Amino acid sequence: MEQPKIFGNNIFNHPFIKGIENGNLDIEKFKFYMIQDYLYLYDYAKLFAIGILKSDNNDDMKLFASSLDSTLNTEMAIHRGYMERLGISEEDVSNTETSLINLSYTNYMLSIAQKGGQKEVIIALLSCAWTYAEIAKKINENNSSAKEHDFYGEWVSGYLDDSFQNIAQWFLTRVDQFGEYLSDVEKTQLTNIFRNCCVYELKFWDMAEKQSLDFSAEEVDYSAI
């Protein structure tokens, strides 16, 4: 599966991402992002549980189960470490309003996963895993010292880690495998789901950059996707 244009055209050069890459992102923006992403991951983790239910073989069930564990106990642990450093408590998170972009994105993925089969679950999961894996690699490519930054280095290193990169690669491999047997109609349907999730990913970064709880994030140039 080829990397979509939205990665290079929009996401890699997003000011929020460049701020992490250069180590000069406003801490308040990162704090806003951390809370919203923590809320996001609670729902994202549920997709792996749905994937287990909809799997028809043991290997896929194991991968979904290990991904669920990794999300809850590794990725979210990094978030909890940052939240402790930023003075954010679990109570603060519970009392924080979920942004409309965040809520819309997770509800969309969960709806797709619940209504569809295993293919739909994997496609719904793919854009987040793939973008984060590629963002980390691009940051490291552009600035190899970013992963050693006193504050943002842990975030970069977490997504550069082989365990996360391998999960993203597994999604891509499974898409290529089942893609060989799809009808043109099915390919179009799954492509649209992936495209929508990529747009949500971009809007999530816009939301974090603007610290916005509503839909005031930048409009997307769909011709560039």
Q: Strands of the chain (E only): list them.
A: none
Annotate the chain with three-state secondary structure. CCCCHHHHHHHCCCHHHHHHHHCCCCHHHHHHHHHHHHHHHHHHHHHHHHHHHHCCCHHHHHHHHHHHHHHHHHHHHHHHHHHHHCCCCHHHHHCCCCCHHHHHHHHHHHHHHHHCCHHHHHHHHHHHHHHHHHHHHHHHHHCCCHHHCCCCHHHHHHHHCHHHHHHHHHHHHHHHHHHCCCCHHHHHHHHHHHHHHHHHHHHHHHHHHHCCCCCCCCCCCHHHC
201 is catalytic: yes
Q: Which two tokens stand for residue 6?
A: 């939205």
Residue position matching structure tokens 């909890």: 80
Annotate 184-203 with three-state secondary structure. HHHHHHHHHHHHHHHHHHHH
Active-site option among 21, 120, 128, 134: 128
> Which residues are known catalytic residues?
128, 201
